[in-house]
Amino acid sequence: MWNNVKAKVMGLKILHGFCNYCTQRHASVGVWVKRTPEKHRRCEQVPGKTRLFATRNYLSTEPPWRVLFFGTDDFAVESLKLLSASRYSNDRVVESLEVVTLSNDVPVKNFADQNKLPVHVWPLGDLQGRFDVGVVVSFGCLLREGLINQFPCGILNVHPSLLPRWRGPAPVFHTILHGDTITGVSVMQIRPKRFDVGPILHQEIYQVPDNFTADQLGATLATKGAQLLIDTLRTLPERITNRMEQAQDGATLAPKISTSMSWIVWEEQTCVQIDCLFRAIASRIPLRTIWMGKTIKLLDFVGKCNISLSGRGRIPVPGSMSYQKESNTLAVCCKDGWVGFKAVMLKKRLSAADFYNGYLHQSFQNRSGPPKQECLFHSNRDRTELHSAGEENSLTQLHAVH
Protein backbone atom coordinates (compact mmCIF):
# COMPACT_ATOMS: atom_id res chain seq x y z
CA MET A 1 0.00 0.00 0.00
CA TRP A 2 1.23 3.46 -0.90
CA ASN A 3 2.74 5.41 1.97
CA ASN A 4 1.29 8.92 2.47
CA VAL A 5 4.68 10.39 3.36
CA LYS A 6 6.33 9.01 0.20
CA ALA A 7 3.47 10.33 -1.89
CA LYS A 8 3.88 13.83 -0.47
CA VAL A 9 7.63 13.74 -1.16
CA MET A 10 6.92 13.07 -4.83
CA GLY A 11 4.19 15.68 -4.95
CA LEU A 12 1.46 13.13 -5.72
CA LYS A 13 -2.13 13.10 -4.53
CA ILE A 14 -3.74 10.28 -2.56
CA LEU A 15 -7.09 9.28 -4.08
CA HIS A 16 -9.67 7.09 -2.34
CA GLY A 17 -12.63 5.04 -3.51
CA PHE A 18 -15.22 2.74 -1.92
CA CYS A 19 -15.68 -0.83 -3.10
CA ASN A 20 -19.33 -1.44 -3.95
CA TYR A 21 -19.05 -5.04 -2.84
CA CYS A 22 -17.33 -4.93 0.54
CA THR A 23 -17.69 -1.18 1.29
CA GLN A 24 -14.00 -0.98 2.19
CA ARG A 25 -12.09 2.16 1.36
CA HIS A 26 -9.10 1.70 -0.97
CA ALA A 27 -6.30 4.26 -1.34
CA SER A 28 -4.11 4.89 -4.36
CA VAL A 29 -1.85 7.46 -5.96
CA GLY A 30 -2.99 10.16 -8.30
CA VAL A 31 -4.68 8.05 -10.99
CA TRP A 32 -7.70 5.83 -11.55
CA VAL A 33 -7.32 2.62 -13.51
CA LYS A 34 -9.69 -0.05 -14.74
CA ARG A 35 -8.23 -2.64 -12.40
CA THR A 36 -9.98 -4.53 -9.59
CA PRO A 37 -7.87 -5.55 -6.57
CA GLU A 38 -7.23 -9.30 -6.61
CA LYS A 39 -9.00 -9.95 -3.32
CA HIS A 40 -12.15 -8.17 -4.57
CA ARG A 41 -12.13 -9.48 -8.15
CA ARG A 42 -15.57 -11.00 -7.48
CA CYS A 43 -17.01 -7.44 -7.08
CA GLU A 44 -17.37 -7.46 -10.84
CA GLN A 45 -19.45 -10.61 -10.78
CA VAL A 46 -22.16 -9.57 -8.34
CA PRO A 47 -25.50 -8.90 -10.10
CA GLY A 48 -26.96 -5.47 -9.59
CA LYS A 49 -23.72 -3.96 -8.39
CA THR A 50 -21.98 -1.08 -10.13
CA ARG A 51 -18.53 -2.17 -11.26
CA LEU A 52 -15.75 -0.47 -9.33
CA PHE A 53 -13.08 1.22 -11.40
CA ALA A 54 -10.56 0.60 -8.67
CA THR A 55 -7.68 2.95 -8.04
CA ARG A 56 -4.16 1.75 -8.53
CA ASN A 57 -3.04 0.61 -5.11
CA TYR A 58 0.71 0.73 -5.69
CA LEU A 59 3.38 2.81 -7.36
CA SER A 60 7.08 2.01 -7.23
CA THR A 61 9.18 4.49 -5.33
CA GLU A 62 12.23 3.36 -7.28
CA PRO A 63 13.04 1.87 -10.68
CA PRO A 64 12.10 0.10 -12.81
CA TRP A 65 9.51 2.47 -14.32
CA ARG A 66 6.82 2.03 -16.94
CA VAL A 67 7.83 4.59 -19.59
CA LEU A 68 6.03 6.15 -22.55
CA PHE A 69 8.52 7.76 -24.95
CA PHE A 70 7.68 10.68 -27.30
CA GLY A 71 10.19 11.41 -30.12
CA THR A 72 10.95 11.61 -33.82
CA ASP A 73 14.54 12.15 -34.99
CA ASP A 74 18.04 10.69 -34.66
CA PHE A 75 18.72 12.81 -31.58
CA ALA A 76 15.74 11.16 -29.88
CA VAL A 77 16.80 7.66 -30.93
CA GLU A 78 19.90 7.84 -28.71
CA SER A 79 17.73 8.20 -25.60
CA LEU A 80 15.31 5.53 -26.82
CA LYS A 81 18.21 3.09 -27.32
CA LEU A 82 19.38 3.41 -23.72
CA LEU A 83 15.84 3.17 -22.36
CA SER A 84 15.27 0.02 -24.39
CA ALA A 85 18.57 -1.54 -23.29
CA SER A 86 17.84 -0.69 -19.66
CA ARG A 87 14.98 -3.21 -19.58
CA TYR A 88 17.52 -6.02 -19.67
CA SER A 89 20.38 -4.60 -17.59
CA ASN A 90 21.25 -5.77 -14.07
CA ASP A 91 20.24 -2.43 -12.55
CA ARG A 92 17.35 -1.86 -14.94
CA VAL A 93 15.66 1.52 -14.84
CA VAL A 94 12.84 0.65 -17.24
CA GLU A 95 10.23 -2.05 -16.69
CA SER A 96 8.22 -1.48 -19.87
CA LEU A 97 8.65 0.88 -22.81
CA GLU A 98 6.19 2.13 -25.43
CA VAL A 99 6.55 4.84 -28.08
CA VAL A 100 4.62 7.81 -29.48
CA THR A 101 5.73 9.47 -32.71
CA LEU A 102 4.26 11.73 -35.39
CA SER A 103 5.04 9.88 -38.62
CA ASN A 104 5.75 6.41 -39.97
CA ASP A 105 8.89 7.61 -41.74
CA VAL A 106 11.06 8.86 -38.87
CA PRO A 107 14.04 7.28 -37.04
CA VAL A 108 12.12 6.74 -33.77
CA LYS A 109 9.36 4.78 -35.53
CA ASN A 110 11.93 2.70 -37.39
CA PHE A 111 13.78 1.88 -34.16
CA ALA A 112 10.53 0.96 -32.41
CA ASP A 113 9.52 -1.38 -35.22
CA GLN A 114 12.94 -3.03 -35.34
CA ASN A 115 12.88 -3.62 -31.59
CA LYS A 116 9.21 -4.59 -31.39
CA LEU A 117 8.22 -1.69 -29.14
CA PRO A 118 4.49 -0.84 -29.08
CA VAL A 119 3.78 2.38 -31.03
CA HIS A 120 0.91 4.77 -30.28
CA VAL A 121 -0.79 7.05 -32.81
CA TRP A 122 -0.74 10.78 -32.02
CA PRO A 123 -2.87 12.39 -30.61
CA LEU A 124 -3.30 10.06 -27.65
CA GLY A 125 -6.41 8.89 -25.87
CA ASP A 126 -6.81 7.90 -22.23
CA LEU A 127 -3.62 6.51 -20.65
CA GLN A 128 -4.67 6.50 -17.00
CA GLY A 129 -2.70 4.04 -14.91
CA ARG A 130 -0.66 2.56 -17.75
CA PHE A 131 2.61 4.47 -17.25
CA ASP A 132 4.66 5.91 -14.40
CA VAL A 133 6.56 8.55 -16.35
CA GLY A 134 6.72 10.06 -19.83
CA VAL A 135 9.90 11.03 -21.69
CA VAL A 136 9.94 13.61 -24.50
CA VAL A 137 12.95 14.05 -26.80
CA SER A 138 12.68 16.12 -30.03
CA PHE A 139 8.94 15.65 -30.34
CA GLY A 140 7.88 19.13 -31.46
CA CYS A 141 4.33 19.20 -30.07
CA LEU A 142 3.01 20.89 -26.97
CA LEU A 143 1.47 18.42 -24.52
CA ARG A 144 -1.80 19.36 -22.89
CA GLU A 145 -2.13 19.52 -19.12
CA GLY A 146 -4.65 16.69 -19.07
CA LEU A 147 -2.13 14.36 -20.72
CA ILE A 148 0.74 15.38 -18.42
CA ASN A 149 -1.40 14.74 -15.36
CA GLN A 150 -1.96 11.12 -16.40
CA PHE A 151 1.67 10.35 -15.50
CA PRO A 152 2.19 10.13 -11.71
CA CYS A 153 5.85 11.18 -12.06
CA GLY A 154 5.16 13.71 -14.82
CA ILE A 155 6.81 13.91 -18.23
CA LEU A 156 10.55 14.51 -18.60
CA ASN A 157 12.30 16.26 -21.49
CA VAL A 158 15.90 15.91 -22.68
CA HIS A 159 17.00 19.28 -24.10
CA PRO A 160 20.45 19.96 -25.69
CA SER A 161 21.31 23.24 -23.97
CA LEU A 162 21.86 24.67 -20.52
CA LEU A 163 18.33 25.97 -19.99
CA PRO A 164 17.17 28.71 -19.92
CA ARG A 165 19.81 29.30 -22.62
CA TRP A 166 18.37 28.42 -26.07
CA ARG A 167 14.77 27.49 -25.47
CA GLY A 168 13.10 26.28 -28.63
CA PRO A 169 13.40 23.73 -31.45
CA ALA A 170 16.96 24.44 -32.65
CA PRO A 171 19.28 24.93 -29.65
CA VAL A 172 22.26 23.10 -31.18
CA PHE A 173 22.27 25.26 -34.31
CA HIS A 174 22.07 28.48 -32.31
CA THR A 175 24.84 27.34 -29.98
CA ILE A 176 27.19 27.09 -32.98
CA LEU A 177 25.77 30.12 -34.79
CA HIS A 178 26.39 32.41 -31.83
CA GLY A 179 29.82 31.04 -31.05
CA ASP A 180 29.00 29.64 -27.60
CA THR A 181 32.01 27.90 -26.06
CA ILE A 182 30.00 26.26 -23.25
CA THR A 183 26.78 24.31 -23.64
CA GLY A 184 25.31 21.13 -22.17
CA VAL A 185 22.20 19.02 -21.74
CA SER A 186 19.24 19.47 -19.39
CA VAL A 187 16.60 17.07 -18.13
CA MET A 188 13.49 18.99 -17.12
CA GLN A 189 9.85 18.38 -16.32
CA ILE A 190 7.35 19.32 -19.02
CA ARG A 191 4.82 22.02 -18.31
CA PRO A 192 1.77 22.68 -20.50
CA LYS A 193 1.28 25.52 -23.01
CA ARG A 194 4.97 26.57 -23.34
CA PHE A 195 8.15 24.86 -24.50
CA ASP A 196 11.25 24.44 -22.29
CA VAL A 197 10.10 26.37 -19.20
CA GLY A 198 9.71 23.56 -16.67
CA PRO A 199 11.84 22.90 -13.59
CA ILE A 200 15.31 21.38 -14.05
CA LEU A 201 15.95 17.92 -12.60
CA HIS A 202 19.48 17.40 -13.91
CA GLN A 203 22.07 19.28 -16.02
CA GLU A 204 25.53 18.53 -17.40
CA ILE A 205 27.96 21.12 -18.82
CA TYR A 206 29.87 20.46 -22.04
CA GLN A 207 32.68 22.55 -23.54
CA VAL A 208 32.22 22.99 -27.29
CA PRO A 209 35.36 21.94 -29.21
CA ASP A 210 36.86 24.39 -31.68
CA ASN A 211 35.49 24.13 -35.23
CA PHE A 212 32.68 21.77 -34.21
CA THR A 213 29.73 21.71 -36.61
CA ALA A 214 26.11 21.59 -35.50
CA ASP A 215 25.90 17.96 -36.64
CA GLN A 216 28.91 16.98 -34.56
CA LEU A 217 27.63 18.81 -31.50
CA GLY A 218 24.15 17.35 -31.89
CA ALA A 219 25.50 13.79 -32.03
CA THR A 220 27.64 14.37 -28.94
CA LEU A 221 24.83 15.93 -26.91
CA ALA A 222 22.42 13.17 -27.95
CA THR A 223 24.72 10.61 -26.36
CA LYS A 224 25.28 12.69 -23.24
CA GLY A 225 21.57 13.49 -22.94
CA ALA A 226 20.63 9.81 -23.13
CA GLN A 227 22.97 8.93 -20.27
CA LEU A 228 21.78 11.92 -18.24
CA LEU A 229 18.20 10.70 -18.71
CA ILE A 230 19.06 7.24 -17.35
CA ASP A 231 20.86 8.82 -14.39
CA THR A 232 17.80 10.97 -13.71
CA LEU A 233 15.39 8.03 -13.84
CA ARG A 234 17.64 6.03 -11.53
CA THR A 235 17.05 8.57 -8.72
CA LEU A 236 13.81 10.13 -9.97
CA PRO A 237 11.97 10.69 -6.65
CA GLU A 238 15.00 12.50 -5.23
CA ARG A 239 15.41 14.54 -8.41
CA ILE A 240 11.75 15.58 -8.33
CA THR A 241 12.02 16.59 -4.67
CA ASN A 242 15.12 18.74 -5.40
CA ARG A 243 14.00 20.16 -8.74
CA MET A 244 14.98 23.76 -9.52
CA GLU A 245 12.87 26.33 -11.31
CA GLN A 246 14.59 27.96 -14.27
CA ALA A 247 16.12 31.39 -13.75
CA GLN A 248 14.18 34.31 -15.17
CA ASP A 249 17.36 35.96 -16.46
CA GLY A 250 19.44 34.67 -19.35
CA ALA A 251 16.64 33.08 -21.36
CA THR A 252 17.25 33.06 -25.12
CA LEU A 253 15.18 31.69 -27.98
CA ALA A 254 16.33 29.16 -30.60
CA PRO A 255 13.80 29.22 -33.46
CA LYS A 256 13.96 26.82 -36.40
CA ILE A 257 16.63 27.42 -39.01
CA SER A 258 15.45 28.59 -42.42
CA THR A 259 16.78 29.66 -45.81
CA SER A 260 16.57 33.30 -44.75
CA MET A 261 19.53 32.69 -42.43
CA SER A 262 21.81 31.54 -45.24
CA TRP A 263 22.27 34.89 -47.02
CA ILE A 264 25.64 36.46 -46.28
CA VAL A 265 25.76 40.19 -45.56
CA TRP A 266 29.31 40.97 -46.61
CA GLU A 267 29.25 44.53 -45.26
CA GLU A 268 28.18 43.46 -41.76
CA GLN A 269 29.49 39.98 -41.07
CA THR A 270 33.01 39.21 -39.91
CA CYS A 271 35.16 36.22 -40.77
CA VAL A 272 34.25 34.61 -37.44
CA GLN A 273 30.53 35.14 -37.95
CA ILE A 274 30.58 33.61 -41.42
CA ASP A 275 32.56 30.68 -40.05
CA CYS A 276 29.96 30.14 -37.31
CA LEU A 277 27.13 30.43 -39.83
CA PHE A 278 28.69 27.82 -42.10
CA ARG A 279 29.28 25.34 -39.27
CA ALA A 280 25.76 25.87 -37.95
CA ILE A 281 23.62 25.42 -41.07
CA ALA A 282 25.63 24.57 -44.19
CA SER A 283 25.09 20.81 -43.93
CA ARG A 284 21.38 21.51 -44.50
CA ILE A 285 21.23 24.92 -46.17
CA PRO A 286 24.13 26.21 -48.35
CA LEU A 287 25.36 29.75 -47.78
CA ARG A 288 24.10 32.14 -50.47
CA THR A 289 24.89 35.44 -52.09
CA ILE A 290 23.93 37.45 -55.18
CA TRP A 291 26.15 37.54 -58.27
CA MET A 292 25.14 39.39 -61.45
CA GLY A 293 21.53 39.42 -60.22
CA LYS A 294 21.48 35.64 -59.68
CA THR A 295 21.55 33.51 -56.57
CA ILE A 296 24.82 31.66 -56.11
CA LYS A 297 25.52 29.05 -53.46
CA LEU A 298 28.91 29.06 -51.75
CA LEU A 299 30.33 25.61 -51.02
CA ASP A 300 33.29 24.02 -49.25
CA PHE A 301 34.13 26.84 -46.87
CA VAL A 302 37.81 26.92 -45.85
CA GLY A 303 37.78 29.75 -43.32
CA LYS A 304 39.74 32.97 -43.13
CA CYS A 305 42.22 33.74 -45.92
CA ASN A 306 45.28 35.98 -45.77
CA ILE A 307 44.95 38.13 -48.87
CA SER A 308 47.11 41.06 -49.90
CA LEU A 309 46.03 43.28 -52.78
CA SER A 310 48.79 45.85 -52.44
CA GLY A 311 50.01 47.19 -55.74
CA ARG A 312 46.96 45.97 -57.66
CA GLY A 313 45.48 49.42 -58.06
CA ARG A 314 42.22 48.98 -56.18
CA ILE A 315 40.88 49.00 -52.64
CA PRO A 316 38.75 45.93 -51.84
CA VAL A 317 35.16 46.48 -50.79
CA PRO A 318 32.93 43.90 -49.07
CA GLY A 319 31.90 41.33 -51.67
CA SER A 320 35.11 41.69 -53.70
CA MET A 321 36.54 38.41 -55.03
CA SER A 322 40.11 37.25 -55.41
CA TYR A 323 41.02 33.92 -56.98
CA GLN A 324 43.96 32.20 -55.26
CA LYS A 325 45.51 29.92 -57.86
CA GLU A 326 47.97 28.26 -55.48
CA SER A 327 45.21 26.91 -53.21
CA ASN A 328 42.41 26.84 -55.80
CA THR A 329 40.29 29.04 -53.52
CA LEU A 330 37.82 31.81 -54.23
CA ALA A 331 38.40 34.44 -51.53
CA VAL A 332 35.66 36.97 -50.73
CA CYS A 333 36.08 40.21 -48.78
CA CYS A 334 33.81 40.63 -45.75
CA LYS A 335 33.65 43.19 -42.91
CA ASP A 336 37.05 42.49 -41.37
CA GLY A 337 38.96 40.31 -43.82
CA TRP A 338 38.64 37.54 -46.42
CA VAL A 339 36.98 34.12 -46.33
CA GLY A 340 37.52 31.33 -48.84
CA PHE A 341 35.40 28.81 -50.71
CA LYS A 342 36.52 25.88 -52.84
CA ALA A 343 33.39 25.66 -54.98
CA VAL A 344 30.19 27.43 -55.98
CA MET A 345 26.85 26.36 -57.36
CA LEU A 346 25.26 28.13 -60.33
CA LYS A 347 23.29 25.80 -62.54
CA LYS A 348 25.78 23.14 -61.55
CA ARG A 349 28.65 22.76 -59.13
CA LEU A 350 31.82 24.55 -60.21
CA SER A 351 35.25 24.47 -58.59
CA ALA A 352 36.80 27.81 -57.74
CA ALA A 353 39.11 27.38 -60.77
CA ASP A 354 36.20 26.63 -63.12
CA PHE A 355 34.22 29.61 -61.86
CA TYR A 356 37.20 31.92 -62.27
CA ASN A 357 38.18 30.67 -65.71
CA GLY A 358 34.62 30.55 -67.02
CA TYR A 359 33.24 33.81 -65.62
CA LEU A 360 35.84 36.03 -63.99
CA HIS A 361 39.14 35.74 -65.84
CA GLN A 362 38.62 38.52 -68.40
CA SER A 363 37.24 40.93 -65.84
CA PHE A 364 40.24 40.37 -63.60
CA GLN A 365 42.62 41.41 -66.37
CA ASN A 366 41.69 45.06 -65.84
CA ARG A 367 42.90 45.81 -62.31
CA SER A 368 42.59 49.59 -62.39
CA GLY A 369 39.64 51.58 -61.03
CA PRO A 370 36.73 50.29 -58.99
CA PRO A 371 35.98 46.56 -59.18
CA LYS A 372 33.66 45.47 -61.97
CA GLN A 373 30.26 44.00 -61.14
CA GLU A 374 31.45 40.61 -62.40
CA CYS A 375 34.04 40.62 -59.62
CA LEU A 376 31.61 41.40 -56.78
CA PHE A 377 29.19 39.42 -54.68
CA HIS A 378 26.23 41.43 -53.38
CA SER A 379 24.22 41.10 -50.20
CA ASN A 380 20.53 40.53 -50.56
CA ARG A 381 18.79 43.18 -48.47
CA ASP A 382 15.16 42.38 -49.23
CA ARG A 383 14.68 39.30 -47.06
CA THR A 384 10.97 38.98 -47.79
CA GLU A 385 11.67 37.98 -51.40
CA LEU A 386 13.97 35.15 -50.38
CA HIS A 387 11.45 32.72 -48.98
CA SER A 388 10.06 29.85 -50.96
CA ALA A 389 6.31 29.33 -50.92
CA GLY A 390 5.25 28.29 -47.45
CA GLU A 391 8.72 28.64 -45.95
CA GLU A 392 8.78 29.83 -42.38
CA ASN A 393 10.87 32.92 -41.68
CA SER A 394 12.39 32.14 -38.31
CA LEU A 395 14.92 34.97 -38.22
CA THR A 396 14.78 38.32 -39.95
CA GLN A 397 18.33 39.41 -39.43
CA LEU A 398 21.60 37.87 -38.35
CA HIS A 399 22.93 39.49 -35.21
CA ALA A 400 26.43 39.94 -33.93
CA VAL A 401 28.06 37.00 -32.18
CA HIS A 402 27.57 37.13 -28.39
Cβ distance 161 to 175 under 8 Å?
yes
Nearest residue to 252 via CA among 326, 194, 335, 196: 196
H or E segment and range at residue 112: helix 107-114
> What is the DSSP-derived secondary structure letter of residue 384?
G
Cα distance between residue 165 and residue 196, in whole Å: 10
H or E segment and range at residue 275: helix 271-281
Residue 256: its pLDDT value, please?
96
SS3 203: strand
pLDDT means over runs of 10, the chain (402 residues): 43 41 39 38 37 40 93 98 96 96 94 97 91 96 95 97 97 98 98 95 98 98 98 97 94 96 96 98 97 95 84 75 94 96 96 94 61 83 42 34 28
- Provide the residue ranges of all domains of the chain, joining segments of one domain with +: 4-45, 65-241, 259-385
Residue 373: its pLDDT value, please?
78
Residue 15: its pLDDT value, please?
42
* Cα R_g (the chain), whole angstroms: 28
- CATH class of domain segment(s) 259-385: alpha beta
Cα distance between residue 226 and residue 214, in whole Å: 18
Q: Provide DSSP, 302-314.
A: EEEE----TTSS-
Cα distance between residue 398 and residue 402, in whole Å: 12
SS3 224: helix
Residue 310: its pLDDT value, please?
54
H or E segment and range at residue 134: strand 133-137
Residue 322: its pLDDT value, please?
92
Output phi, psi for 388, to 5 deg. -70, 165
Residue 352: its pLDDT value, please?
97
| Alpha carbons within 13 A on the beta-carbon side of 171 | 28
Fold of 65-241: Rossmann fold (3.40.50)
> From the CB of residue 173, how many other CB atoms can be counted at a distance below 10 Å?
25
Cβ distance 189 to 243 under 8 Å?
yes
Cβ distance 303 to 324 under 8 Å?
no
Cα distance between residue 70 and residue 155, in whole Å: 10
Q: Where are the beta strands (DSSP E) in 292-372?
A: 294-305, 321-324, 329-333, 338-345, 349-351
